Amino acid sequence: EVQLVESGGVVVQPGGSLRLSCAASGFTFDDYTMHWVRQAPGKGLEWVSLISWDGGSTYYADSVKGRFTISRDNSKNSLYLQMNSLRTEDTALYYCAKGMITFGGVDYWGQGTLVTVSS
Amino acid sequence: QTVVTQEPSLTVSPGGTVTLTCASSTGAVTSGYYPNWFQQKPGQAPRALIYSTSNKHSWTPARFSGSLLGGKAALTLSGVQPEDEAEYYCLLYYGGAQLRVFGTGTKVTVL
């Protein structure tokens, strides 16, 4: 059974930093692209970032480029999101999601971890 | 900034059919945008329904189908069930910058 479990969400002040983690199990982690997606309270989904199977390619939404860094440790079956220079508008539930072998597909999602940026 | 637009809300009767669409501000949506569709119920994580325009996941009920319609990606629900009441999101791939963009979401009410 595929499982994705996010952690690391807390309350942080504007300008602060945070690292989110996603622990993956039930599939061969290093075969798949992984994504971070966020959802602000009461709002829609926003794609945040993607990392290739080997970590060699990373892509970001314009809203987080230069502030967030996606990474992975395939030896630990883990995905990370380093978030710097946090803004109040970064407040959201952050999901990790698994890509598919078929290009462009996204199949499994975690339950999310809540990040609140507030003074 | 690229915007992906969906109908804000649609209402359908039980057993009826409804089609949701997904339009890109950059022009016609084609298979090269690899449209995905997701269902999200209140308090739950999104659940994948469709990938690459029309392919279903193993868990996707047969009444859900994906297509391209008039320059947009489309999700059709046939024989709607009360449990289909949810928010639905499309996701498009923009190859030039390797970006993904979610649609604005459609709230489907079964009434």
B25-41: pLDDT as tens digits? 999 999 999 999 999 99
Token pair for A93: 């539930």
Measure in Å the smallest separation between the Cα of B78 and chain A Cα atoms.
22
Contact B66, B52 (CB under 8 A): no
Tens place of pLDDT per residue across chain A (119 aa): 999 999 999 999 999 999 999 999 999 999 999 999 999 999 999 999 999 999 999 999 999 999 999 999 999 999 999 999 999 999 999 999 999 988 889 999 999 999 999 99
Q: Does B64 touch chain A (CB under 8 A)?
A: no
Q: Which of B48, B87, B100 shows the shortest C-beta gap to A47?
A: B100
For residues B12 and B108, the answer to whether their CB atoms sit within 8 Å is yes
Q: Say if the Cβ atoms of B55 and A105 lie within 8 Å.
A: yes
Q: In angstroms, what is the C-alpha Rg of chain B?
A: 13
Report the chain B residue with the minimal C-alpha distance to residue A112.
B45
> Number of A:B CB contacts under 8 A?
66
Cβ–Cβ < 8 Å for A75, A5:
no
Query: What CA dihedral angle connects B76, B93, A107 and A30, to 10 degrees?
Result: 170
Alpha-carbon gap, residue A13 to A117, rounded angstroms? 5
Q: Is B48 within 8 Å of A108 when comparing Cβ atoms?
A: yes
Q: Which two tokens stand for residue B49?
A: 């329904």
